[in-house]
Amino acid sequence: MSGLPHSAHALVTGGGRGIGRAIAAALTGAGATVTVLGRNAAVLDEAVNAGAAQFAEVADVSDEAALKAAIAKAAARQPIDILIANAGRAESAPFAKSDDALFARMMDVNFMGVVHAVRAVLPEMRDRPHGRIVAVASTAGLKGYSYVSAYSAAKHAVIGLVRSLALELATSGVTVNAVCPGFTDTDLVAGSIDNIMKKTGRSREQAIAELAKHNPQGRLVSPGEVANAVLWLCGEGAGAITGQAIAVAGGEI
């Protein structure tokens, strides 16, 4: 695997747990200085204390002013070379019960959270010789799933943004890509498992199997597998990879 630029500074939104924390740990292990950002200071501090990152900033990605201020603090320590726009939220409901507020929540975090983060880092990143932007989208951004129309729409929007922005930045040295995990063994999916159990009366094992059946390998993806794909995209050897939406899903896509 091609290495990261020397002393790169990476910012990971939603970096305190799940896929974000796994990505932060992988980047730290590859030699980057990593700042994790999220809403829960205690969770972020635990990630730092565990060695997954060096610094933490508290902000909600749906609050552009707060996010911009937090990213400015991180960039003042060291300019940001790598942005991992990972923060996300999932809610499920039939379309007939998905009101405007649900669509707004899904768009605010999953899509506008990416927009806000990119806006905050891009002006300075464009002036540097190496820049990497990776959005953590979802297989829901590449296909549909029942009962998550709002979430799926937001993730499709992320991929459209990635593809368009990659073309705008093609000659700048900044690459823009998305990774699209299938159902992954995280707190977010644990919530879906609990929801299946509550609504259907199935056991935990049956609920996990209901999600794992989407993966031809018959299992949940691990956060570390997603992190490995992100780490590759951030490496110096991936400079020709841009505008891509890479599924990490056991062959589902």
**For residue 75, is it within any domain?**
yes
**For residue 4, is it within any domain?**
no
What are the catalytic residues?
151
Task: Look up the domain containing 192 and give its range.
Answer: 184-220
Are residue 197 and residue 86 in the same domain, yes or no? no
Are residue 150 and residue 27 in the same domain, yes or no? yes
Are residue 161 and residue 49 in the same domain, yes or no? yes
Number of domains in the chain: 2
Are residue 125 and residue 207 in the same domain, yes or no? no
Are residue 120 and residue 206 in the same domain, yes or no? no
CA distance 245 to 160: 10
| pLDDT tens digits in sequence order for the chain, 253 residues long | 458 877 899 999 999 999 999 999 999 999 999 999 999 999 999 999 999 999 999 999 999 999 999 999 999 999 999 999 999 999 999 999 999 999 999 999 999 999 999 999 999 999 887 899 999 999 999 999 999 999 999 999 999 999 999 999 999 999 999 999 998 877 666 666 677 777 778 777 777 777 788 899 989 899 999 999 999 999 999 999 999 999 999 999 9
pTM, rounded to two decimals: 0.92
Q: Residue 151: which of 108, 211, 190, 213 has the closest Cα?
A: 108
Looking up residue 116, the CATH number of its domain turns out to be: 3.40.50.720
